[in-house]
Chain A
Amino acid sequence: MDGLNTYRSGPDEHGHFGIYGGRYVAETLMPLILEVERAYDEARADPAFVELYNDYLKNYVGRPSPLYWAERLTQHLGGAKIYFKRDELNHTGSHKINNTLGQILLAKRMGKTRIIAETGAGQHGVATATVCARFGLQCVVYMGATDIERQKPNVFRMKLLGAEVVPVTAGAGTLKDAMNEALRNWVATVEDTYYLIGTVAGPHPYPQMVREFQSVIGKEAREQIMAAEGRLPDTLVACVGGGSNAIGLFHPFLDDEGVAMVGVEPAGHGVETGDHAASLTAGDPGVLHGNRTYLLQDADGQIREGHSVAAGLDYPGVGPEHSWLRDTGRVTYATATDAEALKAFELCSRIEGIIPALEPAHALAYVMGMAGDLPKDHLLVMNMCGRGDKDVFTAAAELGVEL
């Protein structure tokens, strides 16, 4: 490989991927973060823990998720052969549960009795509330007031599952504000509380731990494409907000030179308008929420609010490993606008009978833009990481339909 023997050895012992990652947290939290790291290192080396996790993945989550040939979409676009990795079929409707399940088992192992989480779209909140219900742990979810307004079905789901949903009114009331508030709560409750972070961001070991729990996506996809086609795919495509579904798909393939990878960021109303959440495309390196990574920020280092029609992508940062993969050039990062994502949302519903979440609709929008130009033997795998049930109200409003 170009100057590097492997792209899969990170992070280093301090949680750095090149200059990115690390542990930028208040001293009050440091001992706890180090404890999480120790506990996680022990757990993943323990065959009983791994077996337990795999058992719940199979019988509770419903894994493996299918690798599905999107035949009509392939014909419609007239180029690359398109496969969907169907993580939207997981219990709770997205890839998020791969991670929450792993971390809840860790939290139990650590003897924690209370779980806190942040959520944007509500998918991670629902996935957290679900595993808390399953394992009988108290669950508090911090959610921006703006997001609560636009994701009412998920708010109700969380409450139904027994979680307390705390509205966060600071800032713009979206995901970054919810994460700030969760961190503030954690500082005050370190004794009994475990912070269950939903994406590959935050202080070490979270980016690594969440990646490893999500890597089940890529490991399965690798076996499945080999079984279906007898060879590795040519291109992988996934949407990137924090980037957990993308890293989950990409990571097992990073050292396969022939596999191209594209992460699709939300361009909102267009990158040129400034109204977007494409931190790798239009941001600069900075430090927020425990790690160094690309951020949307002004010249004074103040963090800007992101915008995306997909609440789950509406975050001004991104996982540090993506920042490193961007700089090394191993992964290409592209963008799709709100309007392009909505078009993909409609098309996929109509011709595949799959209503995608607005998040993977961004990946799909990118696929729609490029698949037609590729030869028919080009194998493309896109991560369908969430289902669109939660988005029908948002999509209806955007498409001008009254329900």
Chain B
Amino acid sequence: MNGPEQREGRIERRFAALRQAGRSGLVTFLTAGDPDRDSSLRVLRGLPAAGADLIELGIPFSDPMADGPAIQRASQRALSAGQTLSGTLSMVAEFRRGDEDTPIILMGYYNPIYVYGVEQFVADAGASGVDGLIIVDLPPEEADELRIPAEAAGIDLIYLTAPTTDDDRLAVVLEHAGGFVYYVSITGITGTASASRADVAAAVERIRRHTALPVAVGFGIRTPEQALTMASAADAAVVGSALVDRLAGHVSENGSAGPGLVDDVLSFVSELAEGVRQSATKGAAE
């Protein structure tokens, strides 16, 4: 990001700070509005203090085709409670009033954005303080219509790569990648199997041959120990379904949040952060 019109974004600053501190980062995923907007916002506001280095906020969608049961149910809970895309953007804006530094990446499927209107969405997301977008069902071949206006608004389009992404394909995927690279460590949906450290380390090395962007590893990371293992093989570890499961444990049959929800989710984030903070210095190779 060294074009004259580009300022250094929060994502870039955060990864630079992590490198400086000699450790890898923790990326947390939760679905916006799960199980209701108020609880979700309270968790969101508590994440930086609990140790989340970057925040992924899921855009609820009726048909989350790449997600396992935990995140499917999270989407359903949020939608049942009335969460909309504009409601999600306003949550980010409220979060930004108390935190100018922690990057927020919206993650979801393309249809809600397309229906919102790409130009309008990019303008509103930028104004709300969104730093990046991960759109699961928008491969590079289809991404220009979102990527170009997003980049113009200073929002990175972050791409996923998978074990099935061979070197030829990596070159295509990473050509326009921004922010960081999200390595999906298993061939599967969220919240299912876990990969081995050796496989992940090899994959991350392969990605690094194609890009200088930081690499975050996700899918199947459930414990502080796994978070440390994966984070130390990359620049950051993403924890999603396990956090969503933790949250879901405090949601009653009728969808309302129990009294301990916010504190318990944040204390789990603290445990994960403690794990990740033990990651060794990786040097400044990249």
- Distance of A31 Cα from B161 Cα, bound (Å): 11
- Distance of A289 Cα from B111 Cα, bound (Å): 10
Shortest distance from the beta carbon of B200 to any chain A beta carbon, whole Å? 15
Whether B110 contacts A26 by the Cβ 8 Å rule is no
Shortest distance from the beta carbon of A184 to any chain B beta carbon, whole Å? 5
Contact of A184 among B61, B68, B141 (CB under 8 A): B68
Shortest distance from the beta carbon of A169 to any chain B beta carbon, whole Å? 10
Shortest distance from the beta carbon of B57 to any chain A beta carbon, whole Å? 16
Q: Does B115 contact A (CB under 8 A)?
A: yes
Whether B137 contacts A28 by the Cβ 8 Å rule is no
**In this complex, what residue of B is CB-closest to A30?**
B139
Whether A27 contacts B115 by the Cβ 8 Å rule is no
Whether A300 contacts B162 by the Cβ 8 Å rule is no
**In this complex, what residue of A is CB-closest to B87?**
A300
Task: Name the segment of B186-194, B233-241, B263-271 touching the other chain.
Answer: B186-194
Whether B139 contacts A184 by the Cβ 8 Å rule is no
| Interface mask (A273-302 → B, CB under 8 Å = 1, otherwise 0) | 000000000001111111010010101111
Q: Does A23 contact B (CB under 8 A)?
A: yes
Chain A facing B: main interface SS: mixed
Which bracket fits the contact residues of B?
A: 35 or more
Contact of B63 among A27, A31, A180 (CB under 8 A): A180
Q: What chain A residues lie within 8 Å of B114 (beta carbons)?
A: 285-287, 292, 301
- Distance of A376 Cα from B64 Cα, bound (Å): 51
Shortest distance from the beta carbon of B72 to any chain A beta carbon, whole Å? 6
Whether A26 contacts B137 by the Cβ 8 Å rule is yes
Q: What chain B residues lie within 8 Å of A286 (beta carbons)?
A: 111, 114-115
Whether A14 contacts B141 by the Cβ 8 Å rule is yes
Given contacts A24-B142, A26-B137, A184-B68, whether A300 and B165 have CB atoms under 8 Å apart is no
Contact of A187 among B66, B85, B169, B173 (CB under 8 A): B66
Q: Does B280 contact A (CB under 8 A)?
A: no
Whether B111 contacts A176 by the Cβ 8 Å rule is no
Shortest distance from the beta carbon of A79 to any chain B beta carbon, whole Å? 42
Given contacts A27-B139, A31-B166, whether A184 and B111 have CB atoms under 8 Å apart is no
Residues 1-44 of A at the B interface (beta carbon under 8 Å): 14, 22-32
Q: Does B195 contact A (CB under 8 A)?
A: no
- Distance of A191 Cα from B111 Cα, bound (Å): 28
Shortest distance from the beta carbon of A378 to any chain B beta carbon, whole Å? 41
Whether A303 contacts B65 by the Cβ 8 Å rule is no
**In this complex, what residue of A is CB-closest to B184?**
A28
Q: What chain A residues lie within 8 Å of B68 (beta carbons)?
A: 184
Whether B165 contacts A170 by the Cβ 8 Å rule is no
Whether A187 contacts B115 by the Cβ 8 Å rule is no
- Distance of A188 Cα from B66 Cα, bound (Å): 10
Q: Does A259 contact B (CB under 8 A)?
A: no
Whether A170 contacts B111 by the Cβ 8 Å rule is no
- Distance of A188 Cα from B112 Cα, bound (Å): 25
- Distance of A170 Cα from B68 Cα, bound (Å): 11
Q: Does A258 contact B (CB under 8 A)?
A: no
- Distance of A22 Cα from B144 Cα, bound (Å): 13
Given contacts A27-B139, A187-B187, whether A288 and B63 have CB atoms under 8 Å apart is yes
- Distance of A289 Cα from B62 Cα, bound (Å): 12
Shortest distance from the beta carbon of A274 to any chain B beta carbon, whole Å? 16
Whether A25 contacts B139 by the Cβ 8 Å rule is yes
Q: Does A158 contact B (CB under 8 A)?
A: no
Contact of A188 among B62, B116, B159, B187 (CB under 8 A): B187
| Interface mask (B49-93 → A, CB under 8 Å = 1, otherwise 0) | 000000000000111111110001000000100001100000000
Q: Does A201 contact B (CB under 8 A)?
A: no
Shortest distance from the beta carbon of A154 to any chain B beta carbon, whole Å? 24
Shortest distance from the beta carbon of A196 to any chain B beta carbon, whole Å? 17
| Interface mask (B163-181 → A, CB under 8 Å = 1, otherwise 0) | 1111001000100000000
Whether B79 contacts A24 by the Cβ 8 Å rule is no
Q: What chain B residues lie within 8 Å of A247 (beta carbons)?
A: none
Between-chain CB contacts (< 8 Å), 19 pairs = A14-B141, A22-B141, A24-B142, A26-B160, A27-B160, A32-B164, A171-B63, A184-B65, A187-B187, A188-B193, A285-B114, A286-B114, A287-B109, A287-B114, A287-B137, A289-B65, A292-B114, A300-B112, A301-B114
Q: In the A-B complex, list the 4 residue pairs whose CB atoms are closest, starting with the nearest.
A: A301-B115, A301-B112, A188-B188, A28-B162
Interface residues, chain A, with chain B CB atoms under 8 Å away: 14, 22-32, 170-171, 176, 180, 183-184, 187-191, 284-290, 292, 295, 297, 299-303
